[in-house]
Amino acid sequence: MAKKTIRPDSDVYTAILALACLAVLAAAVFVTLTCINYYGSDALLQIAQVPK
Amino acid sequence: MSILTKILAVLLSLFSLLLAGMVVTFVGNANNYKQSYEEAKNLSVVLQAELATKDEQYNVQVNKCTELKKQLQLELQNTEADKNQMASDLRKAERLALQYQSQADSWKGVMTGFEQSVRNLQASLSQTQEQLDMARSQGVKDQKELNQITADLYEKIVQLQSLDAERRRLLEQKKELESLMATNGSPAKEIVPITPLNRTASPATTAPAGTDVKGLVIEVQQNLITLSVGSADGVKEKMVFHITRGDRFLCDVVVTNVDINRCAGVLDLVQQSPQVGDTASTQL
């Protein structure tokens, strides 16, 4: 079976996907830093807990 | 790559961008509840401390108010007692005022009666004074008449004594003549009566020495006094009258001026001031 090289069809869509990933990543980082700034580093582990 | 895949990749990218933007916007505008909680907690602690302080102050003020209330109650009780005492004193004073008013009214009636009695007594006194003046004037007239009668009596006595002497002299002459007639023819000699002829009778208006002259004081002016007897009663200058009131000796009066029916003199040996109506006599 001949080796098939995978190539994107267009770099434009690749750039769009990369930009979306960067935006989502930046938003996650911003939310994390804001949460740490407001409530401390332990708050990240207690987000999912049910408040007593 | 199919067209559907491309469309999904683009939509996914757009939705990712939109969601990331919304999340960032939401988180950026979210409140810091922990900080708010800490601030509220600190504020609560401060307020609790202030509340405790206010409670202490409140308790202190309550204690002060309690003590002040007790003191005010004591003062109120004392004031009530004073008020009751003053009310009783006021009632007593009102009763006394009514009593005094009634006494004043009764005394006023008594004084009105006294005034009426005094007026009546003054009227009777004036009548009595008039009667006394009339009696004094009548007494002065009687005294003058008595003095006149006494002088006439002295004159008659003197005339009687003279007639008696004349009678004795005539009897002696008669005896002498009888003795001469008994001796028969002896020459008659001048008959000298033993009793001397006494023709020195005193005037009728002059009282003989040693007689008592009595009168009344009719005027008193400091050291000068006027009596109701004069030269017609035998009063002469430098004659001394004794002024008496009843049995009491008052003073002497030395006569310095003599009128017909009155005389005036100065006081001497004054023991008490004479008054009009006192008795004056030359012999006590």
| Closest chain B residue to A8, measured at CA | B1
pLDDT recorded at residue A7: 65
- Using a CB–CB cutoff of 8 Å, tell me whether A42 touches chain B: no
Closest partner CB to B16 (pick from A23, A35, A39): A23
Position B205 pLDDT exceeds 50: no
Position B193 pLDDT exceeds 70: no
Average pLDDT over residues B82-86: 96
Average pLDDT over residues B7-21: 91
Q: How confident is the model over B231-256, as pLDDT tens digits?
A: 888 888 889 999 998 888 888 899 98
Q: B24 and A13 in contact by Cβ < 8 A?
A: no
Distance of alpha carbon B253 from alpha carbon B282, whole angstroms? 10
- Using a CB–CB cutoff of 8 Å, tell me whether B29 touches chain A: no
Average pLDDT over residues B23-42: 92
What H or E segment, with its residue span, contains residue B253? strand B248-258
pLDDT recorded at residue B51: 96
Q: Concatenate the DSSP letters of all residues of A4-52 into one string.
A: -----S-HHHHHHHHHHHHHHHHHHHHHHHHHHHHH-GGGGTTSSSPP-
Average pLDDT over residues B69-80: 96
Average pLDDT over residues B197-214: 57
Distance of alpha carbon B230 from alpha carbon B8, whole angstroms? 183
Q: How confident is the model over B109-148, as pLDDT tens digits?
A: 999 999 999 999 999 999 999 999 999 999 999 999 999 9
pTM for the model? 0.35
Mean pLDDT of chain B, nearest integer: 88
Residue with tokens 């757009």: B14
Average pLDDT over residues B80-94: 96
Residues 6 or more apart from B244 whose CB is under 8 A from it? B250, B278, B279, B280, B281, B284
Torsions phi, psi for B53 (to 5 deg): -60, -45
Q: What is the ipTM of this complex?
A: 0.73
pLDDT recorded at residue B284: 76
Q: Which of B270 and B109 is assigned the larger pLDDT?
A: B109
Q: A38 and B23 in contact by Cβ < 8 A?
A: no
Q: A20 and B33 in contact by Cβ < 8 A?
A: no
> Where is mean pLDDT largest: B13-22, B76-85, B229-238?
B76-85
Q: How confident is the model over A25-52, as pLDDT tens digits?
A: 999 999 999 989 988 888 888 877 777 7
